[in-house]
With several copies, the nearest count.
Chain A
């Protein structure tokens, strides 16, 4: 049964009092006013209408939906973590010490020389990284205008390059699903500011030619940017810094399992080589003889967050990394790759590209991937990412992550196969066992009703 909107329960209209003169104040304010027990019931009901990683498998490709250990919540809830960003570094050595520790950990994990923790999400990390590249080229007196991006890349890469003022040059994938070296060589020029690359790429393939790719880009004076979305596949097995990448971002809410309920918050720290360190945004944390301080660089790019980023997320990322350590991180990668390979072998779906790592892009073949996904909902699992990347027709990009057990993967495979084994009509009418049946997307966009005010009279 549906839960009414808060405003359909009880609202109040009040006028401001006399703390301020009338000409500075609004006339009135109308908002819902549930008392606490009703508030609790409202959100409890809403929560029960929401899938989560604690509901069951959540194999959204490229999203790395891992179990979020509650211990990291407890660490972040420490009253001493609740400080204002304008505190002097001297008076919050715990906070800046933790940030210094996380910078250090991330540097080791990525093989990077320096890290900023400021970017509040992966896309913000991309923007930071490309802005660093821009500053680097400008400092060299170069006005490069292009960023190269494989067609299979995340949409954020393209949008980020555009946001930073670059023209996007899209690279077609080779037949093997990887970067086409010839196309790359043809595209690279003195206008190339950077190549943005995901590795393993978005169909899970390791770019085996990475050294050659780096050489091509570097030889043209460009920089190599690593999109950290798929880093969970490589922990302890390979490091972007060792592959020749100059800049990378980390999606700590993916790789390091910080909860990002409903779509965020995340954090997108950026690591760079020593050469690029001066361009990272101010301030950064540095260790001195007597403690930790905030330091600034004259050559730094402008900021990407009003303060120091998503602090509470960073605390949780630190806690996760420290909980796992070397062996835990390497095992996470190993099991995420094993799980993807095992699951792919259990489902009746073709997987055009391989060998893949932590995720695989299956094709639904004659079936509509989106419909298969809707039908999977009826079998009590969350479906994979559908219809992306476009190089795979009716793609079902599946990333089970390391947290699923063999039994869970077998159940998930059964859900895949049951959905595929359904008739096209059953799939088209799916889902039928969910809180809501299939939702009309077309009408939602054609007649946008984006607030309860817009529902008046319905």
Chain B
């Protein structure tokens, strides 16, 4: 293979085309001054399809085969085969943004349905087509607050336990708006309400809380947080995910103005942190929403049809006054999440969410029964995951578990974190046995 396997030109066709454009060869078509011309030698060897697959499967096989009990923002639920087979249909997989809605009704409707499911789950009126992940959605939410709050504040408040990746992305996003990120104390893995009340002030434009939190704790006083934010004129942003929202309090009912989070808990397998940013908000912020929105309309025959809408918010029209710089987003992942949600239905989602509670509860109990371990450390209801206290140094315990074939988080000198879902529940007993081996 001397050229691109995906450029279909025969030599005769290339010659005819060059003739038609009046060029002797392709090089003649490039208007590149000599001093900046490159000789084409990257030193990258072309592989046959077969060799490529062998090479990369060999490379990836260097990943140790550990059973993961990992969470803290990236979760795996079993994705049914039908989601794969349908989402990989080429009409979905190899399309792009719906600039011509008349021939892209399929994806538009799927995204409209995705938005609608999030509307149901959050109780808020508006959901966009996707942000990149939970962290960037949080960043966008803080900037929304900056746009919609008349208050002159510059403080964005987040829990002290916020995952560093999220805190860092948030700090990056708000830098340009001259906001700053401050933390409020937590207790037992959730907001310390009194301390939060003290922390919120006139300068606060945005209060962020999560449920479940990064430690897997279900926040017991969301309405209280919402009231504190509201009293200060700050936007209350709640972080969650579509599985948790299937049973937890509806965000709208606790006063959330915006909901962000990781919607890739549906539709995505473990994928090294790749995500799908959930973004939903109240209708009053409609003209300030970042990202794409699909709306219903009609065609000239009066038939219902879908189209991207309110694009005047977006960068390709509004440029530096756009509500965000986002363009390429996570639409195909949103499609998969919608498929997964529809596959489960309301009953399947509720069952899955309840399993996240009971599996964590049961596994924590089993671990707590082991001498030298305590779980859960926090006095809260747990969702998917929980913190484990260890008598031994946590890193040593984790290393020993890894030798037994299990991966868990180390989050402190004597603190591990363990996450259990339907994806790894079959190995929970084995994990307990391994804990018994190594914890003593």
> What separation, in Å, do the CA atoms of A324 and B306 have in the docked complex?
38
Q: Is the pair A238, B44 in contact by a Cβ cutoff of 8 Å?
A: no
Q: Which chain B positions have C-beta within 8 A of A454?
A: 125, 296
> What separation, in Å, do the CA atoms of A255 and B76 have in the docked complex?
30
Q: Is the pair A303, B168 in contact by a Cβ cutoff of 8 Å?
A: yes
Chain B window 4-15, contacts with chain A (Cβ cutoff 8 Å), 1 for yes, 0 for no = 111111100110
Q: Which chain B positions have C-beta within 8 A of A187?
A: none
Q: Does B91 contact A (CB under 8 A)?
A: yes
Q: Is the pair A83, B270 in contact by a Cβ cutoff of 8 Å?
A: yes
Query: Which of the residues A26, A39, A206, A439 comes within 8 Å of B297, measured between beta carbons?
Result: A439
Nearest chain-A residue to B36 (Cβ)?
A243
Given A155-B314, A444-B307: A331 touches B60 (CB 8 Å cut-off): no
B101 to chain A, nearest CB (A): 5
Which stretch, B192-200, B347-355, B368-376, touches the partner chain A?
B347-355
Q: Which chain B positions have C-beta within 8 A of A45?
A: 106
Chain B window 126-152, contacts with chain A (Cβ cutoff 8 Å), 1 for yes, 0 for no = 110110111110000001000000000
**Most B C-beta atoms less than 10 A away, residue of A16, A50, A127, A131:** A50
The residues in B between 75 and 117 inclusive whose CB is less than 8 angstroms from any CB of A are 76, 80-82, 84-107, 109-113, 115-117
Given A160-B325, A205-B31, A208-B31: A24 touches B169 (CB 8 Å cut-off): no
Query: Which of the residues B60, B93, B317, B343 comes within 8 Å of A259, measured between beta carbons?
Result: B93
Q: Which chain B positions have C-beta within 8 A of A87?
A: 63, 66, 68, 70, 407
Q: Is the pair B38, A262 in contact by a Cβ cutoff of 8 Å?
A: no
Q: Does A311 contact B (CB under 8 A)?
A: yes
A212 to chain B, nearest CB (A): 10
> What separation, in Å, do the CA atoms of A342 and B64 have in the docked complex?
51
Q: Does A418 contact B (CB under 8 A)?
A: no
> What separation, in Å, do the CA atoms of A7 and B330 have in the docked complex?
23
Q: Is the pair B315, A259 in contact by a Cβ cutoff of 8 Å?
A: no
> What separation, in Å, do the CA atoms of A326 and B129 have in the docked complex?
37
Q: Does B46 contact A (CB under 8 A)?
A: yes
Nearest chain-B residue to A77 (Cβ)?
B84
Q: Which chain A positions have C-beta within 8 A of B92?
A: 43, 46-47, 50, 52, 261-262
The residues in B between 327 and 348 inclusive whose CB is less than 8 angstroms from any CB of A are 327-335, 339, 341-343, 345-348
Q: Which chain A positions have C-beta within 8 A of B314?
A: 155
Q: Is the pair B31, A402 in contact by a Cβ cutoff of 8 Å?
A: no
Which stretch, B202-210, B228-236, B286-294, touches the partner chain A?
B286-294
Q: Which chain A positions have C-beta within 8 A of B27?
A: 334
B283 to chain A, nearest CB (A): 9
Nearest chain-B residue to A10 (Cβ)?
B10
Q: Is the pair A43, B331 in contact by a Cβ cutoff of 8 Å?
A: no
Q: Is the pair B103, A50 in contact by a Cβ cutoff of 8 Å?
A: yes
Given A52-B93, A329-B42: A438 touches B381 (CB 8 Å cut-off): no
B135 to chain A, nearest CB (A): 3
Q: Does A271 contact B (CB under 8 A)?
A: no
Given A36-B82, A154-B316: A328 touches B307 (CB 8 Å cut-off): no
Query: Which of the residues B61, B74, B247, B318 comes within 8 Å of A307, measured between beta carbons?
Result: B74
Q: Is the pair B332, A165 in contact by a Cβ cutoff of 8 Å?
A: no
Q: Is the pair B110, A73 in contact by a Cβ cutoff of 8 Å?
A: no
Q: Which chain A positions have C-beta within 8 A of B87?
A: 43, 261
Q: Is the pair A325, B47 in contact by a Cβ cutoff of 8 Å?
A: yes
B167 to chain A, nearest CB (A): 9
The residues in B between 235 and 279 inclusive whose CB is less than 8 angstroms from any CB of A are 245-250, 253, 269-275
Which stretch, B16-24, B153-161, B386-394, B430-438, touches the partner chain A?
B16-24
Q: Which chain B positions have C-beta within 8 A of A181?
A: none
Given A162-B321, A307-B273: A328 touches B218 (CB 8 Å cut-off): no
Q: Does B73 contact A (CB under 8 A)?
A: yes
A124 to chain B, nearest CB (A): 6
Given A122-B327, A237-B32: A306 touches B91 (CB 8 Å cut-off): no
Nearest chain-A residue to B9 (Cβ)?
A335
Chain A window 68-95, contacts with chain B (Cβ cutoff 8 Å), 1 for yes, 0 for no = 1111011100101111111110011111
Q: Is the pair A304, B100 in contact by a Cβ cutoff of 8 Å?
A: no
Q: Is the pair A337, B253 in contact by a Cβ cutoff of 8 Å?
A: no
> What separation, in Å, do the CA atoms of A225 and B40 have in the docked complex?
22
Q: Which chain B positions have C-beta within 8 A of A32?
A: 113, 342, 345
Given A94-B59, A324-B4, A345-B20: A264 touches B26 (CB 8 Å cut-off): no
Nearest chain-B residue to A229 (Cβ)?
B327
Which stretch, A58-66, A216-224, A272-280, A419-427, touches the partner chain B?
A58-66
Nearest chain-B residue to A261 (Cβ)?
B332
Q: Which chain B positions have C-beta within 8 A of A29?
A: 120-121, 246-247, 346, 349-350
Nearest chain-B residue to A237 (Cβ)?
B30
Q: Is the pair B218, A306 in contact by a Cβ cutoff of 8 Å?
A: no
Q: Which chain A positions have C-beta within 8 A of B402?
A: 88, 91
Q: Which chain B positions have C-beta within 8 A of A367?
A: none
Query: Which of the residues A211, A305, A321 comes within 8 Å of B136, measured between beta carbons?
Result: A305
> What separation, in Å, do the CA atoms of A93 and B60 have in the docked complex?
8
Q: Is the pair A342, B21 in contact by a Cβ cutoff of 8 Å?
A: yes
Q: Is the pair B59, A98 in contact by a Cβ cutoff of 8 Å?
A: yes
Q: Which chain B positions have C-beta within 8 A of A210?
A: 33, 36
Q: Which chain A positions have C-beta within 8 A of B332?
A: 259-265
Q: Does A288 contact B (CB under 8 A)?
A: no
Q: Is the pair A127, B91 in contact by a Cβ cutoff of 8 Å?
A: no
Query: Which of the residues B45, B295, B331 comes within 8 Å of A262, measured between beta carbons?
Result: B331
> What separation, in Å, do the CA atoms of A202 and B47 have in the docked complex?
32
Q: Is the pair A451, B112 in contact by a Cβ cutoff of 8 Å?
A: yes
**Most B C-beta atoms less than 10 A away, residue of A35, A127, A306, A449:** A306
Chain A window 279-320, contacts with chain B (Cβ cutoff 8 Å), 1 for yes, 0 for no = 000000000000000000000011111111111110100110
Q: Does A159 contact B (CB under 8 A)?
A: yes
Q: Which chain B positions have C-beta within 8 A of A438?
A: 102, 299-300
Q: Does A448 contact B (CB under 8 A)?
A: yes
Q: Is the pair A303, B40 in contact by a Cβ cutoff of 8 Å?
A: no
Q: Which chain A positions have C-beta within 8 A of B299?
A: 436-440
Q: Does A12 contact B (CB under 8 A)?
A: yes
Nearest chain-A residue to B65 (Cβ)?
A80
B180 to chain A, nearest CB (A): 12
B118 to chain A, nearest CB (A): 8
The residues in A between 369 and 405 inclusive whose CB is less than 8 angstroms from any CB of B are 373-374, 377, 382-383, 385, 388, 402-405
Q: Does A327 contact B (CB under 8 A)?
A: yes
Query: Which of the residues B84, B270, B315 comes within 8 Å of A158, measured between beta carbons?
Result: B315
Q: Which chain A positions have C-beta within 8 A of B119?
A: 450-451, 453
Chain A window 227-255, contacts with chain B (Cβ cutoff 8 Å), 1 for yes, 0 for no = 00000001011110011000000010100
Q: Is the pair B328, A69 in contact by a Cβ cutoff of 8 Å?
A: no
Q: Is the pair A242, B36 in contact by a Cβ cutoff of 8 Å?
A: yes
Q: Is the pair B74, A91 in contact by a Cβ cutoff of 8 Å?
A: no
Q: Is the pair A355, B29 in contact by a Cβ cutoff of 8 Å?
A: yes
Q: Is the pair A74, B81 in contact by a Cβ cutoff of 8 Å?
A: yes
Q: Which chain B positions have C-beta within 8 A of A445?
A: 295, 309-312
Jot down 22 A-B pairs with beta carbons below 8 A, ordered by A.
Answer: A5-B112, A12-B347, A29-B247, A50-B107, A69-B5, A105-B44, A122-B327, A123-B325, A123-B328, A155-B317, A159-B322, A261-B107, A262-B95, A264-B130, A303-B165, A307-B274, A323-B52, A326-B43, A327-B2, A332-B6, A382-B103, A440-B300
Q: Which 10 A-B pairs have the closest CB atoms?
A: A307-B273, A325-B46, A165-B176, A33-B345, A306-B135, A331-B3, A85-B273, A35-B8, A50-B106, A262-B331
A sample of 13 more A-B contacts (CB under 8 A), given A31-B349, A73-B81, A304-B136, is A19-B357, A25-B249, A162-B321, A163-B143, A163-B324, A206-B30, A211-B36, A261-B87, A308-B272, A337-B29, A346-B20, A355-B29, A440-B299
